[in-house]
Chain A
Amino acid sequence: MVFRDRTSLFLRLRGEARAYDAARRVATQKQQRQRSALRVGGHEYSAVSQGQGSRRDHHDAHNDDFLIEMDSLESDGRSGSGGDPLDSTGDAAPEWVRTCDELRADMSHVREQIAQLQALHNVHLLPGFGEEDKLIEEENINQLAGEITRSLRTSEQKVKRLGGLYLAPNSSGRSDVVDGHAPASDDERASRAILESVQKSFGAQLQVLSMQFRTAQKEYLKQLQGQKAVLGIGVDAEEQERALRHTQTVFLDDTSTQFRETDFVTVQAVEHDTGEEYVQQRAREIDKVVHSINDLAYLMKDLSNLVEVQGTILDRVDYNVLAVRESTQNAVKELRRAERHHRKRHGVSCIICLTLACGVMALILVFKWLF
């Protein structure tokens, strides 16, 4: 790779610079102490200036003093960088950082699981003879699909929580001129921007994953149906229904979960009603319609999150980074100009001038009349 690494040189220079600093601090402290001792009245110490901060100081006879001072100095000198930097923040930052780490781990886990699921699909779709093996495979598939669904749902909730975490005066979590409430400070705005972009990036990754999962399930279903049609076996309604159910992954609000539960109940009730073949078939078709509507609803939700910016100016780093700066700079300039203008108070000075002029004219008139 075309990098030239100068880290080792840098670290060595840094070490030398720090050692030099520490030694110099020792020397100046010692000098100060000596000076204060002199002032106190010990003129037995002739003014032996022990060199102005030269490194060779620590070779002289005051070695033990030096050592003690060195320790105390080190603890002083390190205070700037001391301890775990994270402790000093004290705001919501560590919490959402933890959420981010969890999300990352969850998503890589889900990715593995989806790969596993696809492998299981392929194995199951291979023609085989053992009925029990097939049943076991189906159980595994359904279990895994259920797990994936659950992980995706928790991840989506975490992503949603990220957005709501930064509760400023306006709870929408977006930029706030609309609310008529000026943003608290530049820093707050910056942090909110960071949170938004983090949320967007995780949301995008999650979306890709759930699309992957759904397409995998659909493919599997289609192939399964195709196979079973060829073999002349009627599709097992229950199996199909279970597979279809898992194609609806997650919804972000609660009304839809209720929807799904009623749906589940209807199907179960219908399934228990034996002998009514026609009714069963109709029920199955209604299920299909219902599932498609659910899919559609989910896709509509997808769309509201979609920001198709690829290939446009909004997707350019330099535009985003530099344009924002320039517009705020312009804003500052305008504000300053407005302030200057306001301060000049043109109107008042006009009034004063005119009044003076009227007064002067009146005086002239009076004198003219008098003489």
Chain B
Amino acid sequence: MAHHDSVRNALRTLIRGAPGLKALVVDRDTAATLGLVEPYSQLMSEEVCHVEVLVAQPAGARQLLHLHAIVLVRPTEQNVALLCAELAAPRFRDYQLCFANVLRRLAVEQLAEADVHERVVSLRESFLDFLPLRKSLVSLGDPLGSLDRAVDGVLALMVMRRRIPQVRYDRNSAACRNLAERLAVKFDQESSLFQDGTSDAMNAGTGIVGSRAPLLLILDRVEDPVTPLLNQWTYEAMIHELLGIQNNTVSLKGSMDVKDEFEQVVLDAESDEFFARNMFSNFGDLGANLKELVDNFSSQRPDAQGHVRDLDDMLRLVEELPEFRRSSSNVTKHVLLTSELSRRVDSGSLLRVSQLEQDLACRESEAEHRKQVLQICSAPGIALKDKVRVVLLFALRYEQSPTCNLSELKIALQRAAAGSASEDVAFVDLVSGIRRYAGAAKRHGDVFSNRSFLAKAATSMRRGIHGIENIYTQHEPLLAQTLDDLLRARLSYETYPVIYEGSGGALHASGSFSGASAQTLGSARGAALSGPPPRADAHTDRVVPRDIVVMMVGGCCYEEYRTVSGINGVAGAVMVESGHTASAAQVARSLQAHVVLASSHVLNSSMFLEQVRRVAQQ
């Protein structure tokens, strides 16, 4: 189930499979995967004494014939060409080739032909073609969101989870449909890689039966353009929003005078206990917890415990010193991060901006919002990007309202933009561009819950009755609602049709297809049929998958990852007690369901604006 552990186990097996002193040859992508999963010191203890990137070697490069090479690269054409060149002039004693995804037969022939010195010992495929950022978050490291990379990455992820899933996708989105079709074909072709599972049922007692056959749900970012535009107030999401997390590392270079060792820090929930506990805590709680941590730490310092009395004390002190140094650097790291975050919050008046943003996202009140937006636009001291974001949210929400006068807002923005950097000014054009990217015409869902009178009434009633705990974290991404519907078997098959039945049976040609595509996909060879379907009474019980992978085309956010963690039962991740996340979490707990979020990359607002601009320009 846990792909994170599968990746680590696969790597360890691979490394231990070679005898003696080893060298590891990787490419950029597999180096990133390796870096996320295995620390360098661990590699060194497994006698990997040399790690390098696969590049063209100059003629006469030094031979390292005492090392056995393990090559772990993606099966791209460039890598295969570089490997052929390497095998023609081999530098290592022998080579164990391992590719991170399916390798075409043509490439195997090329490598076989190039291996004149017969140094290759084995050739394997291991499906590590994704970045397991956290236990329930997978990224592909591909900000451009190319379709091929997505197909490869999702295939690798599914193979690591051992089961072919049922595939459902958002019918309204062409990108989702393309991805779903390509995946269906790929699953068919590579069905030998999967196990067929038994679908044992699990009764949740509310007329819902959970089945073990996994589900892959393909969603589009365009449905929910609001979540990436919002400012975040929970620790992990906030760091990504303001500083940027790249493969679980944060760069503090430009911020303030930091010592060299803290220029880049690692945020790893597994080794860093404070981070694991506070990933989802909001800024206020975080400050309190950090203060507690610092107090604990300073009370543990040796000079705080009085004088060292005798040699035994000294011995104990020295023995505890490594642990002390480790926790000291950890505390320093968090203090630095938090102080940087709070500096940015203050200097950019983010509290004020974020209050309006959350209000715009959750409440309907056009005139009031317009006034507040104009106030923000003319306020000094707020970054242009934040003003643009607020205007974009307004434009998205009230796009279809007849009194929405975007030109006035655009003028206010342009006035505010006078004298800013040119790349920021370009964002002002997005006010019109956002409609092309994610306007009401492109979305079918109700991300603001304001399309129908019923939805409006329901939201205002809920807000009135339950109240709002924290105005800065009141927004819930659309994903929460979708997953809630899915877990309660309410997700309509009309809007989210099934394209592939997975271990349950052969290809399912749903009615939304044209005849031609049904022809091409019409082969009856699905995965091997598993046991009989779960004993479900078709009239009263509904079958719901317990193992869900959500693939978000166009990028996902850490706020959505927080939602998914909340549904998975992680303590402290559910912010809104009466919202969709809480209800989904309840069902998930009774079904023992588990959700994993995958996407091509993790967005923050700057990346999202950049993405919108790129798409709008096409």
Contacts of B61 in A (CB 8 A): 187
Which residues does chain A contribute within 8 Å of B21, judged by CB atoms? 97, 100, 198
**Chain A residue total in the interface (Cβ 8 A):** 63
> Does A327 touch B at the CB level, under 8 Å?
no
B120 with A10: CB separation less than 8 A: yes
Given pairs A4-B125, A313-B265, 19 additional interface contacts (CB within 8 A)? A6-B108, A9-B123, A17-B115, A18-B116, A81-B116, A93-B65, A100-B20, A101-B20, A190-B62, A194-B64, A292-B312, A292-B315, A293-B311, A295-B315, A299-B318, A299-B319, A310-B41, A311-B266, A314-B40
Task: Report the Cα distance A200→B326, complex, angstroms.
Answer: 19
A316 engages B249 (CB within 8 Å): yes
A61 at the interface (CB under 8 A from B): no
Mask: chain B, 256-267; 1 = CB below 8 Å from A; 0 = not: 000001011110
Chain A 247-273, CB-CB to B under 8 Å as 1, else 0, gives 000000000000000000000000000
B50-A322 in contact (CB<8A): no
What 3 A-B pairs have minimum CB-CB distances, sorted nearest first?
A187-B62, A318-B35, A13-B112
What are the residues of chain B within 8 A of A80 when measuring CB–CB? Answer: 116-117
Chain A residue at smallest Cβ distance from B113: A17
Say if the beta carbon of B322 comes within 8 Å of chain A. Answer: yes
Q: Which of chain A's residues have a CB closer than 8 A to the CB of B265?
A: 312-313
Q: Can you offer 16 A-B residue contacts whose CB atoms are under 8 A?
A: A1-B10, A4-B126, A10-B108, A10-B112, A13-B108, A13-B109, A81-B116, A85-B65, A93-B65, A97-B21, A197-B44, A292-B311, A293-B311, A296-B311, A312-B329, A322-B31
Q: Does B52 contact A (CB under 8 A)?
A: yes
List A residues 322-348 near B (Cβ within 8 Å): 322, 325
Residues in A whose Cβ lies below 8 Å from that of B47? 100, 104, 198, 201
Task: Check A14 for interface membership: any CB of B closer than 8 A.
Answer: yes
The answer to the question of B118 belonging to the interface, with a C-beta cut-off of 8 Å to chain A, is yes
Stretch at the interface among A43-51, A66-74, A121-129, A301-309: A301-309
Contact of B53 among A85, A101, A295, A325 (CB under 8 A): A325
Q: Is A349 interfacial (CB 8 A cutoff)?
A: no
Closest to B114 in A: A17
**A365 beta carbon closer than 8 Å to chain B:** no
Give the secondary structure class of A's interface.
helix
Q: Using an 8 Å CB-CB cutoff, how does the interface string of B146-168 with A read, 1 for contact, 0 for none?
A: 00000000000001101000000
Distance in angstroms between the alpha carbons of A176 and B277 in the assembled complex: 43
State whether the Cβ of A115 lies closer than 8 Å to any Cβ in chain B.
Answer: no
B residues near A94, Cβ cutoff 8 Å: 66
Chain B interface, >50% SS class: mixed
Whether B78 is near chain A, meaning CB under 8 Å from some CB there, is no
Q: Taking the complex as formed, is A88 at the interface, i.e. its CB lies under 8 A from any CB of chain B? A: yes
Q: Does A205 lie at the interface of the complex (its beta carbon under 8 Å from any beta carbon of B)?
A: yes
The answer to whether A306 and B35 have CB atoms under 8 Å apart is: no
Contact assessment for A2 and B160 in the assembled complex, using a CB-CB cutoff below 8 Å: yes
Contact across chains for B40 and A315 when beta carbons are under 8 A apart: yes
Chain B nearest CB, measured from A290 CB (Å): 10
Residues of B within 8 A of A191 (CB): 62, 64
Residues of A within 8 A of B263 (CB): 313
A88, A100, A104, A316 pick with most chain B CB within 10 angstroms: A316
Report which of B50, B112, B162 forms a contact with A2, defined as CB distance below 8 A: B162
B93: chain A residues within 8 A (beta carbon): 85-86
B314 CB to closest chain A CB, in angstroms?
6
Contact code string A88-110 (vs B, CB < 8 Å = 1, else 0): 11000110010011001000000
> Are A97 and B66 in contact, CB atoms less than 8 angstroms apart?
yes
Interface presence of B32 (CB below 8 A): yes
Shortest CB-to-CB span from B272 to chain A, Å, is 6
Task: Convert B296-331 into 0s and 1s, putting 1 for each residue whose CB lies closer than 8 angstroms to a CB of A.
Answer: 000000000000000110110011011001100110
CB atoms of B32 and A318 under 8 A apart: yes
Asked if residues B193 and A4 are in contact (CB atoms below 8 Å), the reply is yes
Which chain A residues numbered 6 to 45 have a C-beta less than 8 Å away from chain B? 6-7, 9-10, 13-14, 16-18, 21
CB < 8 Å: which of A1, A9, A204, A296 contacts B13? A1
Q: Which B residues are CB-close (under 8 A) to A140?
A: none
B6 within 8 A of A: yes
Question: What residues on B are CB-neighbors of A314 within 8 Å?
Answer: 40, 261
A197 and B50: CB pair below 8 A? yes
Nearest-neighbor residue (CB-CB) of A95 within chain B: B66
A295–B35 CA distance with the chains assembled, in angstroms: 37
B63 CB–A CB distance under 8 Å: yes
B9 nearest CB across to chain A (Å): 8
Closest to A316 in B: B35
Question: Which residues in A have their C-beta under 8 angstroms from that of B65?
Answer: 85-86, 88-89, 93
Complex contacts, B117 vs chain A, CB 8 Å: 80-81
Q: Which residues of B contact A200 (CB under 8 A)?
A: 44
**Interface of chain B residues 50 through 81 with chain A (CB within 8 A):** 50-53, 61-67
State whether A289 and B311 are in contact (beta carbons under 8 Å apart), knowing that A313-B264, A316-B35, A316-B40 are contacts in the complex.
yes
**Does A281 lie at the interface of the complex (its beta carbon under 8 Å from any beta carbon of B)?**
no
- Is A371 engaged at the interface, CB distance under 8 Å to the other chain? no
- Say whether A2 contacts B20, CB under 8 Å: no
Q: Closest CB-CB distance, B524 to chain A, in whole Å?
A: 25
B272 and A7 form a contact (CB under 8 A): no
A309 contacts across to B, CB distance below 8 A: 40-41
Complex-state Cα separation, A4 to B41, whole angstroms: 28
Complex Cα spacing A240 to B124, Å = 57
Task: Say yes or no: is B401 at the interface (Cβ < 8 Å to chain A).
Answer: no
Residues of A contacting B44 in the complex (Cβ-Cβ under 8 angstroms): 197, 200-201, 204
- Complex Cα distance, B261 from A289, in Å, reads 38
Q: Does the CB pair B49–A201 fall under 8 Å?
A: yes
A309 vs B261: C-alpha distance when bound (angstroms): 10
Residue pair A6, B10 in contact (C-beta under 8 Å) = no
B189 smallest CB distance to A (angstroms): 13
Question: What's the least CB distance linking B60 to chain A, in Å?
Answer: 9
Cβ of A321 within 8 Å of any chain B Cβ, yes or no, is: yes
Inter-subunit contact B10/A4 (CB<8 Å): no
Counting CB contacts under 8 A, is A193 at the interface?
Answer: yes
Q: Would A319 and B125 count as touching, CB distance under 8 A? A: no
B66 surroundings in chain A (CB, below 8 A): 86, 89, 93-94, 97
Find the B residue at minimum CB distance from A320: B40
Contact A311 B122 (CB under 8 A): no
Smallest CB–CB gap between A13 and chain B, Å?
A: 4
Complex interface: chain A residues within 8 A of B330 (CB): 311
Task: Kindly state whether residue B535 has any CB partner on chain A within 8 Å.
Answer: no
Kindly state whether residue B43 has any CB partner on chain A within 8 Å: yes
Residue of B nearest to A202 (CB): B47
Chain A contacts with B in 159-201, Cβ cutoff 8 A = 187, 190-191, 193-194, 197-198, 200-201
The residue of chain A having its C-beta at the shortest distance from the C-beta of B118 within the complex is: A81
Partner of B326, one of A97, A194, A310: A310
Report Cα–Cα, A292/B316, bound state, in Å: 11
Please give, as numbers and ranges, the residues of chain A lying within 8 Å of B98 by CB-CB distance.
3
The CA-CA distance from A280 to B64 in the complex, in Å, is 60
A90 to chain B, nearest CB (A): 10
| CB–CB B325/A299 < 8 A | no
Given contacts A2-B160, A3-B125, A306-B322, are A299 and B41 in contact (CB under 8 A)?
Answer: no
* B618: interface (CB < 8 Å): no
Instruction: Give the residues in chain A near B53, CB-CB below 8 Å.
Output: 321-322, 325
Q: A6-B108, A7-B122, A200-B44 are in contact. Are A308 and B322 (CB under 8 A)?
A: yes
> How far does the Cβ of A320 sit from chain B's closest Cβ, in whole Å?
6
Residue B363 lies at the interface, judged by CB distance under 8 Å to chain A: no
- Distance between Cα atoms of A317 and B31 in the complex (Å): 7
A300 at the interface (CB under 8 A from B): yes
For A20, the closest partner residue in chain B by CB is B113
What is the bound-complex CA distance between A300 and B264, given in angstroms?
29
| A60 on the B face (CB < 8 A) | no
Asked whether any CB of chain A lies closer than 8 Å to the CB of B45, the reply is yes
| CB-based nearest A residue for B109 | A13
B529 interface residue (CB < 8 Å to A):
no
Which residue on chain B has the smallest CB distance to residue A199?
A: B49
**A3 vs B325: C-alpha distance in the bound complex, in angstroms?**
40
CB distance from B19 to the nearest CB of A (A): 10
A5 within 8 A of B: yes
A310 near B39: Cβ-Cβ < 8 Å: yes
